[in-house]
Structure 1
Amino acid sequence: MESKQAQVEATMRLAPVIPVVIIDDVKAAVPMARALVAGGTPAIEVTLRTPAALDAIRAITQEVEGACVGVGTVLHAEHLAAAKAAGARFAVSPGVSPKLLDAADDSDLPLLPGAATASEVMHLLERGYRFLKFFPAVPAGGTKLLGAWASPLPQIKFCPTGGISLSTASDFLALPNVLCVGGSWLTPADKLKAGDWAAIELLAREAASLKG
């Protein structure tokens, strides 16, 4: 568990923002990932929300030097196994269930599990998790809730995701218990569809320069 936690922490410290990506066309995966890496955001979460996701992860893993690609929207053991087989380096879940945590214990794929309440955070701490996704960040309470957790739960570090934008990311990054944020604004659907990789690289550069 400690080895996997160290891997999650290292991934969270690669850049201030982890791009959260929904890919409909696998042909867009490699040039998109190259643009994100060139812009300074090498940790990329490809969500399992489309049929192209696993093929996209496989392509990025094989073809994009410097990318640390992970799988998002992991809900059960089968997702973990498929992500590992595709070459993912980390997994992210919107929440947790006992079965998912048991599967994660048996897998060597590091998991960044989601939590939205103090009770969920405490449960995950009992299971050995010190690095968590706070989701959905803005609807669940935003910076006020995360800031309130910093004192009673100082050993937990978060990647808040959900409703965060370029203009609000720095507010989260300024919190002592936040290592990075997750954001979907780096890969907007219109830019992916148009193949505007220069625009995506620029968005990545803006995100990579953020400070708390």
Structure 2
Amino acid sequence: MPSGTQKTDELLKIMQGQPVIPVLKIDRLADAVPLVRALARGGLPAVEITLRTPVALDAIRAVAADVPEAIVGAGTILNPDQFEEAVSAGARFIVSPGTTPSLIDAVASSPVPLLPGAITPGELMAAAERGYSLLKFFPAEQAGGAAFLKSLASPFAGIRFCPTGGIGAGNAADYLSLPNVICVGGSWVAPDGLVAAGKWDEIEALAAAAAKLQR
């Protein structure tokens, strides 16, 4: 078994549980718990809170403590130190936009699964050599979109993806119809304006619509 082999079973439970994983950028800590509660009520309990704001780790802690129905993950993890910080905060899965040997090495002994990013054939081959078959595809639209992902299905039949980046209600179905896509990541279910206004019912409705997308 390759060093750093992915915790595939744990990730599959999350990725197969819902067609869309909300990608959240939390600007105000007070929004974290009601936002994730609304998404969970709508049928999207697994969420990725990105480490793009100063309150991100505190938001993960709050959700882990106060929203037991949620599966909180951490995104935009770029190095081993951030991985450890996110896990300590309560993240149950980790998402990285790319894949590096140091990150793969660092997570090998952790029970928390990693979903790393890869786009090019060389990156996919390198990830596969380390035992990784579930990957993030980011930035999806800018990297070639559903057509590019479809072209990878045959030569990389053993690899499945969660594409993220530029995906919304209008094109999510294009990705979800592909045989090598398990789920998609997106922020359209939690628009900044609705979050800022605290319109949790409207966010719940967006989540409910996304949860019904066919794969």
TM-score interval for Structure 1 and Structure 2 normalised by the shorter chain = over 0.9
2:82 to 79, 83, 86: 79
2:199 to 177, 196, 201: 196
Alignment partners' CA distance in 2, 1:106 and 1:184: 31
Alignment partners' CA distance in 2, 1:148 and 1:59: 41
1:137 to 131, 135, 140: 140
Maintained 8 Å contact 1:91/1:110: yes
Q: Per-residue deviation at 1:104?
A: 1.7
What do the CA deviations read for 1:74-123 (whole angstroms, capped 9, x no partner)?
Answer: 00011111111111000000012221111122322210000111110111
Maintained 8 Å contact 2:6/2:132: no
**CA-atom RMSD, angstroms?**
1.1
Alignment partners' CA distance in 2, 1:136 and 1:3: 22
CA separation of 1:85 and 1:16: change in aligned 2, threshold 3 A: same
What do the CA deviations read for 1:140-184 (whole angstroms, capped 9, x no partner)?
Answer: 011111111111111111000000011100010000010000001
Maintained 8 Å contact 2:42/2:208: yes
In structure 1, the partner of 2:151 is: 148
Maintained 8 Å contact 2:5/2:108: no
Q: Per-residue deviation at 1:34?
A: 0.5
> Which secondary structure does the structure 2 equivalent of 1:10 belong to?
helix
Q: Per-residue deviation at 1:35?
A: 0.3
What do the CA deviations read for 1:42-95 (whole angstroms, capped 9, x no partner)?
Answer: 110000000111111111111112201100000001111111111100000001
In structure 1, the partner of 2:15 is: 12
> Which secondary structure does the structure 2 equivalent of 1:159 belong to?
strand
- Structure 1 segments, 4+ long, off by >3 Å, are none
Asked if residue 178 in structure 1 is aligned to residue 181 in structure 2, the reply is yes
Q: Per-residue deviation at 1:3?
A: 7.2
Sequence identity percentage: 53
In structure 2, the partner of 1:96 is: 99
What number of residue pairs does the alignment pair up? 212
Maintained 8 Å contact 1:42/1:67: yes
Alignment partners' CA distance in 2, 1:124 and 1:199: 39
The AA in structure 2 aligned to 1:206 is: A
In structure 1, the partner of 2:113 is: 110
The AA in structure 1 aligned to 2:94 is: A
2:54 to 51, 56, 79: 51
Alignment partners' CA distance in 2, 1:11 and 1:2: 18
The AA in structure 1 aligned to 2:196 is: K
Alignment partners' CA distance in 1, 2:179 and 2:126: 21
TM-score (norm 1): 0.97
Maintained 8 Å contact 1:132/1:159: yes
1:23 to 26, 32, 37: 26
Maintained 8 Å contact 2:23/2:47: yes
TM-score (norm 2): 0.96
Maintained 8 Å contact 1:80/1:109: no
